[in-house]
Structure 1
Amino acid sequence: TEEFTVAGLTRPVLAPLGGNLELSCQVFPPQNAQHMEIRWFRNRYTQPVHLYRNGKDLHGETISKYVERTELLKDDIGKGKVTLRIFNVTADDDGPYHCVFKDGKFYEEHIAEVKVTVTSSDIQIFMHPPNSKGVMLECHSAGWFPLPHMEWRDSKGEVIPEISKSHSQDINKLFNMTMVLLIKASSHRNVTCCLRNLLTHQEESISIILSGKICLCSSCFIKQSQSRSSK
């Protein structure tokens, strides 16, 4: 058996949530890999995402969450190159993938890194009834991945320190964000809640203008998704 190495992309692969993902790897020196075993797995060698052996795709060996979600593109397998395609990407697909070529007892692997990403335009601001300390604003946004950067800004774009910031993850592992700001009397009248995807640098925001009539409000709810920008 001729020895070889396995190579692929060294930089992370960005994968939009709900889209398709492709990961390629190749043996060097280039050679026909049709007779080899080709295995893609996440954490455990014995739990393949996709398995090719004896010239066939063994779909029955695939772990449950990847059943009918993968395809091995073999157009260039004669040169030792294959591409794993994953359909309907979820947040759970984030992380490393091992590509193993095995010829007899000899094997080598390449590890690819997948970064799943999604940006949400669903941002809401809740305004609590004013009290002696001022007006409390809560900004909520759901459906982000990975964990976004979140901050309040004034009319000049300067960051305003928040009282608190928290996050949780839903059943699909998407992040739900909450941030609270206390505005004291005669301070900021125009504030913006900003969230930024740290992978794509896409930013979403919502602004609120507080007028002198604010003391007449018992409670307010604002929802807006039009104020957004990509950077």
Structure 2
Amino acid sequence: MECTGLCFYGHCIVMFLLHITPSSEKFTVTGLEGPVLAPLGGNLELSCQLLPPQHAEHMEIRWFRDHYTQPVHLYRDGKDIYGETISKYVERTELLKDAIREGRMTLRIFNVTVDDDGPYHCVFKDSNFYEEHITEVKVTAVSLQVQIHVHPPNTKGLIVECNSGGWFPQPLMEWRDSRGEVIPAASKSHSQDEGKLFNIKMILLIRESSSQKVICCLQNPLTGQEHRTSVAISDAFFSWNKKWKMILVMILCVMVFSIMVSSRQIHLRNQSRWCTWTAPWVIGILIMILSVLIVIGVLVWLHMKQRVPVSDAHFELDTLWLEDRSVILCALMVSATMLTSYIYFKLKARLQKENHLSEVSSSN
């Protein structure tokens, strides 16, 4: 009986010692399945769990990004080690140890930045045995400031520009009409500021006059958060194009009128027949047609020539330059046509007068 009692008490003591002695059996590490979304400027918590659950106070627990030797946070010998952590994470991390006896540890990162985006390795190490779990973190930022700017109309059409900044990652962007249908954008561009946040610009070129509402839609591809801004486009924006066309028509009318008046005066002077190909009105019309063809040809060549793209910051200057050149060219062609017609008709009248005088003198 005494032996049996001693054996029982001995067995209990051995089981107790085994229970309090760190276990060296193998384990696995599990954690959050990514990606884990982390709002910019907020706090992020990443947890790891030992399986089977067991006491982890005696283990080394290391969180790192790319290199094992450069931890984000390090726990060793029952305390936090800050001397080996990456400098940008100093005083920005905290290890929650409330459930360390169950083998669960949580890393808290304060004031999340864009640089915190990416994978995080959680490593539990017991003696020479270790296991890890990798969690993917996606930082998200959504801007509430979306602005639409309508540029003055020009010969190319009406330029509508949408600007926004402070997005991460790069947002999805598109133009839509009032029915929700996508309108092809003339150009899309983006850049990143010092904080690696995306600034975007999207341009829409409206060539035809139509009363409609255009909507600039921006969406975060991770969270699905969307922000919209709209502007109504009325026919009044295209009044300049109508004035431009009216100016061209008026110039052509002036050219026709000036040539017809000059032809009529020469005809009355010479009393010549209007059916001949050498009649002044025929020559005037030919000069007019030639001038119009030259103007149209030059304008088409200017417009077909490789221009500055819509996305370029100098697009408006290039368009204004083209418009000014077109107006100057039309004015010069009108002046040249009138001057050519005047000189031609003057020479024509003088030659006819000399021929008439020579005929009179020869008849006498």
Percent of aligned positions that are identical: 69
1:152 aligns with 2:175: yes
The change in CA–CA distance for 1:27 and 1:188 in structure 2 (over 3 A counts) is farther
Q: 1:194 aligns with which of 217, 223, 231?
A: 217
1:99 aligns with 2:122: yes
1:163 corresponds to: 186
RMSD over aligned Cα, in angstroms?
1.3
1:51 corresponds to: 74
Q: Which amino acid aligns with 1:129?
A: P
Higher RCO (CA-CA < 8 Å; seq separation 6+): 1
Q: 2:136 aligns with which of 101, 110, 113?
A: 113
Distance 1:185 1:79 in 2: 69
1:139 corresponds to: 162
User: After superposition, what is the alpha-carbon deviation per residue over 1:7-28, rounded to whole angstroms, capped at 9, x for unaligned?
Assistant: 0011311111100000000111
Distance 2:27 2:239 in 1: 75
2:84 corresponds to: 61
Distance 1:87 1:11 in 2: 19
1:15 corresponds to: 38
The change in CA–CA distance for 1:6 and 1:188 in structure 2 (over 3 A counts) is farther
Unaligned runs of 5+ in 2: 1-23, 241-364
User: Is the contact between residue 211 and residue 234 of structure 2 (CA under 8 Å) also seen in structure 1?
Assistant: no
State the 1:215 CA deviation.
Answer: 4.1
Q: Which amino acid aligns with 2:181?
A: E
Distance 1:13 1:77 in 2: 22
Q: Which amino acid aligns with 2:125?
A: K
User: Is the contact between residue 154 and residue 188 of structure 1 (CA under 8 Å) also seen in structure 2?
Assistant: no
Q: 1:122 aligns with which of 136, 145, 154?
A: 145
2:9 corresponds to: none
Unaligned runs of 5+ in 1: 218-231
1:89 corresponds to: 112
Distance 1:188 1:73 in 2: 60
1:176 corresponds to: 199
User: Is the contact between residue 40 and residue 48 of structure 1 (CA under 8 Å) also seen in structure 2?
Assistant: yes
Provide the secondary structure at the position in 2 that maps to 1:71.
strand
State the 1:185 CA deviation.
Answer: 2.0
User: Is the contact between residue 209 and residue 235 of structure 2 (CA under 8 Å) also seen in structure 1?
Assistant: no
Highest Rg: 1 or 2? 2
**Larger strand proportion of the pair:** 1
Distance 2:191 2:134 in 1: 29
1:220 corresponds to: none
User: After superposition, what is the alpha-carbon deviation per residue over 1:129-184, rounded to whole angstroms, capped at 9, x for unaligned?
Assistant: 21122101111110001111000001111000001111111111111111111011
The count of corresponding residues between Structure 1 and Structure 2 is: 217
Farther off after superposition, 29-38 or 187-196: 187-196
Distance 2:95 2:112 in 1: 16
1:29 corresponds to: 52
Provide the secondary structure at the position in 2 that maps to 1:14.
strand
